Structure 1
Amino acid sequence: MSEFFEYPFRIIGPTPDTIPMSRLATYVAELARLMGSQDAVHFSRIEDKSVSIVAFASLEEVPLISPRIRSAASGDVNADAAAPWRKLNEFLAEDGWTAEMPLPNSGEVIAFPGKSKTVAILRAVSQPTSVQGRLIRIEGGGEQVRVGLEIDGDLTARISIGSQLAQDLAKHFHRSVRMSGEGRWRREGDGRWNLEHLAATSFEVLEDATLDEALARLREIVPPGSGEEIVRAVDELRSA
């Protein structure tokens, strides 16, 4: 017999006595879409004190469900669960609530922040964009393939590229590359700009030179005695 694990979706704010049944149903429906594996995920109960919608799934489904939720929570706009993730947070924002979901067997708690009604996204723009990092992931079987770059020790996976170009890119796995294309940027209420997605149309392989190699090459390029002049020129540009 299969072992089952619970996924409690705790809505912080209402109680079972105050949340309308129709509103509760919208949360349950969107939660099912977020978790996926809809034939294998089942409703268990509503817990008291706060509104905790408890769903459960078999042990075999946990390796599919938990990464799916984690990927959406990380902001991956290409994740299969990205749309229901946004929808649940929109519901929470409309109601003035937040939520959380402990993932089984991990000790990890996924936060659903909703959105403050007074802090809205101010602006979204698309413009030519380039990012660079170490190529560590290529996945997908459609016309567009998802790419993951390691940038400053973190994985950035909000990049897609055409499948034909991806075949050439795969030859440079674990190399440093620069990917360029049309980037979609969004400005948050606190003024930060976030890259939501980069539809890359080209890439460039970068040389993986050590610092000593780079300095040796710089010495070959810069004439002897000209270092002070370069520093002075840079200072003048900064103060201009």
Structure 2
Amino acid sequence: MSGMPASDEEATVKPVEYVFRIDVFQPDTLPMARLAEYLAALAKMFGHAEHTHFLGVEKGSAKLRTAVDAVDAPKVEARLNGVRIGDAPKDAMAGKLALEDLLANDNAVATLTEADTERMVVPFIGRNRPKALTFPPFREDTSIDGVLVKIGGKDPSAHATLQDGDVFHVGVTMRRELARELAQLLYGPTIRMFGNGRFERQAGGVWKMSDFRVDRYERLDERGVSDALAAMRVVPGNRLMDADSYRDVAAARDEDDAAG
């Protein structure tokens, strides 16, 4: 009947609303394309797309208002709590990272709050996040191992690719005279190339060798432990049967036999 107060059950179906506030924008200064990027990242962070809705941009600093249907509200709340402490699913954390990147590029910070209570749900540091340390590239003498899988080129220096398991060393250059020697070892034995590499620091602090200039090479001994021991036994004074040496050699031989 009209005029009757809402039941407790009806009161519980109210959606839960959140406000994502960006400090540097107003509703009339936030470009539509940028708004779309923020909404896409927010949707990824919230998850449960079928029950999460964009309500609009409020006045003041740009406040993106979102509503989560009651049916998924507890799941979204748990997900956002996980984002705050860094223990959310990968897609949720990826959404937060995308938001942080957008904010940093816009020289902005933001907050996600619960609309009714104004409780802080997730803070975003944006422009205030620590700047990544930058290091200049450097060159260093080093060596690389692997099987030669490509060699050639029309430049004055030849180019090669060396495969070491799942790793491919590219950007390998050398004199043409050296390349002619190495061409005979294409798809052949494991070799070790000695030379000078250029190292660059990648995102996440990982160093990567971007090019390698070869000076010389050598074929690696690919004999098993048993064959190597047989060759060593004929060397005078090899001391293979000393107690400590024998234990180490026996253990290596057992590992080699098990791998074979």
TM-score bracket for the superposition, by shorter chain length? 0.3 to 0.5
Larger radius of gyration: 2
- Calculate the TM-score normalised by the size of structure 1: 0.47
Higher relative contact order (CA 8 A, sep 6+): 1
Larger relative strand fraction: 1
User: TM-score, normalization: structure 2?
Assistant: 0.43
